[in-house]
Structure 1
Amino acid sequence: MCPPSSSKLDQIVAKARREAEARGHGYRERALKMYPWVCGRCAREFTRANLHELTVHHRNHNHDDNPADGSNWELLCLYCHDNEHSRYGDYTGVAASDAEEKVAAATANPFAGLKDLLKR
Structure 2
Amino acid sequence: MSTRNPPLDHARLDRIVAEARRATEQRELGYRERALKMYPWICGRCGREFNRSNLQELTVHHRNHDHDFNPPDGSNWELLCVYCHDNEHSRHIDHVRGAGYDDEAVAAPATGNPFADLKAMMARKRES
TM-score (norm 1): 0.73
Paired residue secondary structure (2:50): coil
- In 1, the alpha carbon distance for the partners of 2:8 and 2:78 equals 43
Paired residue secondary structure (1:75): strand
Q: Cα–Cα, structure 1 residues 3 and 87, in superposed 2: closer, same or farther, change >3 Å?
A: farther
Paired residue secondary structure (2:60): strand
Pick one of 19, 22, 26 that aligns with 1:22.
26
Structure 1 match to 2:97: 93
Structure 1 match to 2:43: 39
Structure 2 match to 1:70: 74
1:53-112: CA deviations, max 9, x gaps?
A: 000000000000000110000000000000000010101019xxx9xxxxxxxxxxxxxx
Structure 2 match to 1:6: 10
The code of the aligned residue for 1:15 comes to E
How many residues were matched structurally? 94
Question: Does structure 1 residue 56 correspond to structure 2 residue 45?
Answer: no
Structure 1 unaligned residues grouped into runs of 5+? 99-120
- In 2, the alpha carbon distance for the partners of 1:26 and 1:20 equals 10
- In 2, the alpha carbon distance for the partners of 1:53 and 1:64 equals 22
Q: Quick one: percent identity of the two aligned structures?
A: 70
Task: Pick the structure with greater CA Rg.
Answer: 2
- In 2, the alpha carbon distance for the partners of 1:36 and 1:68 equals 17
How far residue 21 of structure 1 moved from its aligned partner, in angstroms, is 1.1
TM-score (norm 2): 0.69
